[in-house]
Structures are given as structure tokens and as C-alpha cells.
Structure 1
Amino acid sequence: MSLTPQTDWRASIERRLTRTQKFIDDTDPEALAVVLVSMGSLLAAFVGFLLASPWTAVPLGTFLIATGYGWARHQALVARAVTFAMTTVTLVTLGLIVVFIFAESIPAFQYETASVFGVSVPGLGMFTQARWDAVSEPVRYSLLPMIHGTVMVTTIATLVAAPLGVAAALFIAEIAPPRVRELVKPGIEVLAGIPSIVYGFIGFTVINPWAGGAFALNGGSTYLFVGIVVGLMALPTVVSVAEDALTSVPSVMKDGSLALGATDWQSMTSITLPAAFSGVSAAVLLGVGRAIGETMAATVMLAGVPRISEPLVNVFYGYETLTSLIARGYGSANGVHESALFAAGVVLFVTVLCLSLGSQYIEARMRRRLGGVE
């Protein structure tokens, strides 16, 4: 007997309600009361924090006391409730941040409304002109120069981090002796922990002066060397994630390849890399995300002039990126200018979101292929 979608939906709801009722009936009333007090006080503290209430400490203290008591008496149930609550708070916080960024950018999109085929499109002017001027009248807030700079820096950083990172991960996972692996992996983790301002300061004091003298550049700021520095910053992330993906490939797959007469190199390129492709691609996309969102190195090393280099592919001049624009302007911006900086944040957010969705799609597609389903 086949069920209609509506009947199946009702049956699913009834099963969930039945399980919930059974859980409530089987749970100790004291434990249930402790969980309800703990979760209710956490919700009140979260709302109080959002409203900047001076009484936020009261529900927060209640949450800590109730959770501590429940942890001592009913640890399993309280642990489940607390982990669920923290996950929910994280998702709600992320959603509020997204809503706040988009809401704050609305005035800038309205200000830069442009018409196409007689239809007014909010924000179109930000992407159809190349002038950013927050001082002279009429003020203009085009993001094209900064988008161009971000694309230039990200492309160069990816060309540096992707091949070097994957090669280094392949060496650590498949080729390096155990002693070398034990020395190299902590070193890579140390590189990942170096603050970005340190890289930027080295680039500003060492690379920029050298580039200015070697290429006769005014100030020495270039997309080329900023991209190289950002690529080196993203390299530890790519190596670490890609190495984890490569080591997670079952050894029986590699052993089977070697047993059939393949060489170590053939096994690595034909078995290990394709099997770990989803993880390796995720590592590269994480590195790209790090390059797109890098702020301090770009802010320190670039000239800070919102313009597009001529020609477009000229990497020997460096002006501005989206992140450096926000870092330079947030302290003194107000009104529509501040909203335009939020608009730059919206562009960054949407870009990173698309990269994340792309990595998820690649991973799902690779799983289907490895599972024999096209």
C-alpha cells in the first residue's frame, strides 16, 4: 500500500511526537526540570546580550548554576541539552550576523541604484563604474577596483599555495620517512599560527623596498608580491587539510595497486590522489578562502588607492582589495560610506559562500563516483 506525500508527512510527525512523548515519560522529572531551567536561562541570557541589557548576568548565572548541578546529577541528559543549545546559538548567531551585514549595506545599494533597459537595479552602479570617491561631490562607491585587486591577489596566492601545498602534503603523507614527517608537520602548524601582521610587516619592510628598487616602482606595492605573501600564509592550511585527506585513504587501495605491479608514483597519482580528491579540493578552496579574506598583509603592503591597474593583468602595481578597503575605512566612515563598506563585506561573504557550496558539490560528486554511481 503506497502512501501519499501528505500521509507520509503526517506519519513522520506522529512518529516524532511519539518518540518525544516517550522520552519525556522515561526521563526523571528532576532532570527534565534542570534542563528546562538551564535552557530557559540560556535563552534569556542570549536575548539579554542582544538587547545589551544590564540584567544579562542574572540568567547567565542561573544557567551556570543549573548546568553545574545537572552535570553532577544527570550528566548524560545535560550534556546532550548543552551541546544542542550551543549548536543552536552558533547557528542563530551566524544568521544574525548575516542579516546585520545585509541590512547595513542596503543604503549603499540604494544610493548606487542604476538603470538597465529602463529598470532600476539597486547596487548596479557599484559594479558598472570604476570610481570610488567618498570625499568629492558627487560621491561614488564603486567596488570594481577592489574586486579587481582581490581577484588578482587571490589568483596569485592560489597559484602559489595550491601546487606547493598539494605537493608538500603528498610528500608528507606518502614519501617522507617517519622521522622527517614528525619534524615537518609541527613546523607547518607553527607557520599556520604566525599572525598575518607579521607576514605583512616582513613584506612591507623587506619585499616592498626590494620590489621598488628592482622594478622602479613608486612605493614598491605590487599585486604579485602581495599574492606571494598571502599564498605562503595560506600554504599551511592547504598542506594540513590535504595531508589529512591523503592519509585517510584506506591502505588496502594502495596495497592493491602495488600488488598489481604499479609503481609508488603510479599508485599515488592513480589511486591516492583521486580517492582523496574531495579532501584535497576542499584544502585548496580553504586556502583560496584564506587568501580572499586576508586583511592585514594586504592592508600593510598595498598602496591603498581605489583604482584599477592598467592593463588589467598588470601585477606589478598594487592598489586595494575589499578587505584592505574595509580595514582602512571603518574607523572614519559614517553614513552611506559606512554602508558601502558593509556592501564590500556582503561581496566577500557571498564569494566565500559560493566557494563553500562549490567544495560541497565537488565532495558529493566525488563520493558518487567512488561509490560507482554517476
Structure 2
Amino acid sequence: MKATKITADELKEKFEKKSNVIVLDVRPQQQRDDWQISGSIYKDIYDRLQQGDSTVFDDMDLPKEATIVTVCAAGRSSQLAADILADKGYYAQSLEGGMKAWNYAWNTAEASDDTLTIIQVRRVAKGCLSYIIGSGKSAMVIDASLDPEVYFSLASTRDWNIIYVSDTHIHADYISRSIELVKVTGATHLFTENADVDYPFVPLADGQQLRLGDAYIKAIHTPGHTPESISYLIDESYLLTGDTLFVDGVGRPDLKADAVQTRRKAQQLFVSLSKIKGLPNDPLILPAHTSHAIDFDNVIIGNKLSGLVHQIELLNIQEQQFVASIVERIPQTPANYLQISAINKAGQHDGIDPADLEAGANRCAIA
């Protein structure tokens, strides 16, 4: 029996509605280890599927009342798996386009107070986190990683006008959509002063303050992960840290750097983290990435600064030990990072399909 297909948008809707769905991953183990759909189950049958083995699920008992969605890299092996399950009487569907299509699935979570609302827009597979800060009738978008229409629609439903757009740094794991968003909205494009990019922007000095509706946003230069890294302190209560500080680690300083440069950038990172640790009011830290697949739970990914200082060992050691520990713990280099960072420096990706470059794990953090 030929099983049907399900699109990434349709699967996203099922998650949002809390439907009875089981996602069954049939990729090779290494691909699953790189990135996956949150809550999915796994069966190591990829090679057997390629060999035409129809007995791959004979030892597996799945609930017949659930929709079983099979997933692979691009949708071919998952179709084979779904067909076998359909022959066994399950309602099975294959994720059309596989993980390459799921790469752009997203959801949101919010933090708010009497003055502002922060919408965290999350690419659920890759763990990219972007933000819409709204206050009064105005909004600012930071680290846009999805189609501009996503941000425009979310802002429009709140009756916000996007007046500022910025990135926290030159990203190396996804193609920034900030320039496209500026073109759509007419917003002012902000970035760190002296940032080494090939497109025009309005520079922000360290400590410079912006007014957004009834809120105030302060630019804080935090180099280390990259030279132009910048964090945004919002009303002294929220800090968007980009790839400088995560909820489970700190940024890596080695990309596009030799051994000597890596140590120098690690020293800069230590200084930047010390600057962050010295902030008053224990702000909520909101990073640009998370290292795991994201649930459809509407729970914001972030933590109070005090909580991170308590949890992350690297925030509690002296500079010399910090640099040595960072160098020892550098993870595997992200795929395509040189090409992606070059595209983001240039500010255009004409003729390039971002999905071909962005698929795979996020490796920006050192824990």
C-alpha cells in the first residue's frame, strides 16, 4: 500500500494542536545525532530499507490509533518506511522533503512585562533563535533566520511597525534574512560600528541607547565569538546575547581563526562575559541558538544570569584557565561555515538555496 505524504507545515500544525502523532526517524545514526525532530523515536533500519527488507518493523509495536510520520533526510527512505507501515495497517505518512524541509519549521514563545513583549521565534530543528521586541506601536527584529513574511506577520498581528532590524554578529551556520526584512519593511538596519560587512548599515557604538516605543535598548559590544558580536540589553531586564552566552555554554572563538587568533579571541570572550556578569538586575539571558531540537511547548529558551553563572563552569574560572578550557573543548567545525559567513558578510545570496547550506547540526557553543 502506498502511504501518503505530509508537508512540514502540516506536521507543524499537528504538533501545535497536540495531535496524536508519532515521528519515526529512519536515517543513519550519525545524521540523527546531528539534528532531529524533538520527541521523535528512532529505528536504525536505513540500510535494510535500501535493500528492500519489508520485515524492518516486524519487531515494533506502535499504537494503531496514532498517525505515524516517518522522516529521513530528503523524503525517499521515509516513503519506503511509511509504505511498509501502511501495509501493516498503520496510518503512516512520509514527511515530504525530509529534514531538509523541516529545517524551516518554527514556533514561538514569549516573555513580557508592562512595557514590552519579546517574541522568541525558533527554528525547531536547527535551534536558531530570533527575536521580535515590541513596545507601543514599534518593533525591532534581531537575528532574522526565516522568511521575512514570518516576522512581518507576527508583528502585524500585534499592530507593531518594524522600525529596526539587526544581527548580533555575522552568522556562520545560517544565512541571515535581515537585509531581506529591511527591504520588505523599510526598517533601519543597525549593526556594530566597524563591522566588516559589504552592505550599508547604521553603526551602533558600545553603550549606545535606542528608544523603542516605551522601552530602551542598549547596545553592548561583546566580541570573542566574532569581532563584531553585540548584545542588546532591553530595559535592564533582558539581554539578547547572540552567540556570546548560551543557556548551557559560551560561544566558540575558533571559527576563521588560527591557534594564536583563537586564544586571543578567547581572551576577548572572557572580557565580554565578565562585562555581562557585571550587569545589575539579573537580566533574563536570551541567546541566538540552542543546541537541541525545540519542543512545541511555548516555553521560552532562556535563563536568569544568576542561574547561568551557577550552572556554567566556564563562567566561574579565571582568565588563564578559561582560555585553556575553551581551547581544549572546541567542538567539530560546522559544515559550510566559511561559505555561509562569506554570504552574510556580502549581504546577498542570489542564486543560492539556503537549505542546501544550512541543513545539519548547530555547533556554536562550548559547554
TM-score, scaled to structure 2:
0.24
The structure where strand makes up a greater share of residues is 2
